[in-house]
């Protein structure tokens, strides 16, 4: 086995939570508001892709224990077609992680380090993540366990002080046009919920397998609840202005002013973003490296960590010419690509595996 490390079911749940949420808090309030308006807080409830992907990942793991989706492809559709399909997953993870690195860099440079070149910010975070990923799944799991309490604490330090200034009228009327706007707003959110396919790569390393299913579903519920809270707080404070900002939740953090002393909490938002983005990039990079090594039948994934890290930096520069086009792509073509590759293809693979199993049972 390429990776001999083990993580607990709890660590896996924390890794998934931090691998999905940070970028969702960053941009989804503004994107969702364009479709759902005052119902943007309802949109995270429609987590259909998350449920499908978790079900598929757990079923494939049960049918092919110890194998992730890249390895299971060859068992399901044969060696040559399986190699072609299996190659798509690490390649797309590399591309998608490039988008995440670009989002991270654009936010840090645009909001805080205005004079710093993008390549410097991208290169520094990728280098740190590459070193962590090279340490193995246990290192990434322990980082997640360490960072999650700080992430939640900083999040609450932004949300709680703002409660007296929230205007409940901003969310009224609720569903004036029915559920359609909230579902339209949820379509973009399926990009983030589809990322739960990452569980397929982590499940083989979970020591307490009996608790893994519960941990994944708790992680999904935690992501939904956090998105509801962040969207709701943003809406109740900013109202119709929510759609005018690129980073609405950052504006919420900057609004806080307690007795002219407790102010400028955007530093807390920066801390949330840096800590969360570190884990997200780290998990996705580890999955990319692991999947690529398994696809190439290598005995160790460590030799390809830094070469793929360099590719990741290049992808982050190539994905879009500017942040506006990147945001537009996330709301359109990237959403379609992720749903196709992370939801539809794995679901088809599960159906083929189930048919194959039934035919094999009947032939006996």
More confident call, 360 vs 345: 345
* pLDDT at res. 288: 93
CA angle in degrees (0–180, nearest 5) for 73-76-81 = 60
Distance, in Å, from the CA atom of 332 to the CA atom of 148, rounded to the nearest integer, reads: 31
Question: Is pLDDT of 88 > 70?
Answer: yes
Question: Is pLDDT of 265 > 70?
Answer: no
Question: Is pLDDT of 182 > 70?
Answer: yes
The verdict on residue 297 lying in a domain is yes
100, 142, 215, 278 from 14: Cα distances, Å: 19, 10, 9, 13
Mean pLDDT for all residues in the chain: 86
CATH number for the domain spanning 272: value is: 1.20.1740.10
Band of pLDDT at residue 308, cut at 50, 70 and 90: very high
Averaged pLDDT, 140-157: 87
Distance, in Å, from the CA atom of 339 to the CA atom of 195, rounded to the nearest integer, reads: 9
Band of pLDDT at residue 93, cut at 50, 70 and 90: very high
* Domain span holding position 32: 9-355
The verdict on residue 136 lying in a domain is yes
The verdict on residue 262 lying in a domain is yes
* pLDDT at res. 306: 93
* pLDDT at res. 343: 92
Helices (H), 203-265: 212-238, 248-255
The verdict on residue 363 lying in a domain is no
* pLDDT at res. 364: 64
Angle between helices 248-255 and 212-238 (to 10 degrees): 70
Q: Is the distance from CB of 202 to CB of 16 less than 8 angstroms?
A: yes
189, 248, 313, 315, 332 from 46: Cα distances, Å: 9, 21, 33, 31, 18
Band of pLDDT at residue 215, cut at 50, 70 and 90: very high
The verdict on residue 362 lying in a domain is no
* pLDDT at res. 264: 62
Residue 305, token pair as written in the block:
């960590």
The verdict on residue 223 lying in a domain is yes
Q: Is the distance from CB of 319 to CB of 99 less than 8 angstroms?
A: yes
Question: Is pLDDT of 194 > 80?
Answer: yes
What proportion of the chain, given as a percentage, has pLDDT over 70? 96
The verdict on residue 224 lying in a domain is yes
Query: How many other C-beta atoms lie within 10 A of the C-beta of residue 182?
Result: 24
3-state secondary structure of 135: coil
Question: Is pLDDT of 216 > 90?
Answer: yes
Query: How many other C-beta atoms lie within 10 A of the C-beta of residue 88?
Result: 15
Question: End-to-end CA distance of the chain, in Å?
Answer: 32
**Residues in the chain, overall count:** 364
* pLDDT at res. 258: 58
The verdict on residue 37 lying in a domain is yes
Question: Is pLDDT of 259 > 60?
Answer: no
Distance, in Å, from the CA atom of 73 to the CA atom of 61, rounded to the nearest integer, reads: 12
- H or E element: which one contains 360? helix 345-363
Report the DSSP beta bridge partners of residue 7: 206
Domain count, the chain: 1
Residue 296: phi and psi, rounded to 5, are: -90, 5
Q: Is the distance from CB of 151 to CB of 272 less than 8 angstroms?
A: yes
Q: Give the CA-trace dihedral at 130, 132, 134, 139, to 10 degrees.
A: -160
Q: Is the distance from CB of 283 to CB of 12 less than 8 angstroms?
A: no
CA angle in degrees (0–180, nearest 5) for 158-160-164 = 115
More confident call, 247 vs 207: 207
Band of pLDDT at residue 131, cut at 50, 70 and 90: very high
* pLDDT at res. 214: 92
């Amino acid at each position: 086995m390429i990776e001999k490390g083990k993580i607990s079911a709890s660590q896996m749940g924390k890794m998934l939570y931090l691998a999905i949420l940070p970028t969702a808090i960053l941009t989804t309030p503004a994107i969702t508001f364009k479709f759902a308006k005052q119902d943007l807080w309802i949109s995270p409830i429609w987590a259909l892709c998350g449920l499908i992907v978790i079900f598929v990942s757990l079923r494939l793991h049960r049918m092919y224990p110890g194998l992730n989706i890249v390895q299971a492809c060859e068992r399901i559709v044969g060696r040559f077609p399986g190699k072609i399909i299996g190659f798509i997953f690490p390649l797309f993870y590399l591309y998608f992680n490039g988008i995440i690195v670009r989002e991270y860099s654009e936010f840090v440079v645009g909001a805080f380090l205005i004079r710093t070149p993008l390549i410097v910010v991208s290169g520094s975070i990728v280098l740190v993540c590459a070193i962590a990923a090279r340490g193995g799944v246990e290192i990434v799991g322990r980082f997640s366990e360490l960072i999650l309490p700080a992430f939640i604490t900083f999040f609450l330090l932004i949300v709680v002080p703002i409660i007296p200034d929230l205007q409940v009228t901003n969310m009224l009327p609720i569903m004036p046009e029915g559920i359609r706007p909230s579902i339209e707003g949820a379509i973009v959110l399926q990009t983030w919920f589809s990322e739960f396919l990452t569980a397929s790569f982590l499940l083989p390393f979970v020591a307490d397998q009996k608790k893994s299913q519960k941990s994944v579903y708790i992680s999904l519920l935690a992501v939904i609840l956090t998105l509801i809270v962040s969207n709701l707080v943003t809406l109740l404070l900013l109202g119709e202005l929510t759609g005018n900002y690129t980073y609405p939740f950052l504006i919420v953090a900057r609004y806080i002013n307690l007795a002219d002393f407790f102010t400028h909490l955007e530093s807390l938002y920066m801390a949330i973003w840096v800590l969360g983005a570190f884990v997200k990039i780290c998990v996705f990079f580890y999955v990319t490296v692991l999947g690529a090594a398994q696809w190439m039948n290598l005995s160790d994934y460590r030799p390809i960590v830094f070469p793929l890290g360099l590719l990741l930096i290049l992808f982050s520069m190539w994905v879009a010419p500017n942040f506006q086009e990147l945001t537009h792509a996330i709301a359109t073509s990237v959403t379609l690509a992720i749903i196709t590759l992370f939801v539809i293809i794995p679901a088809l693979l599960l159906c083929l595996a189930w048919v194959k199993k039934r035919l094999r049972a009947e032939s006996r």
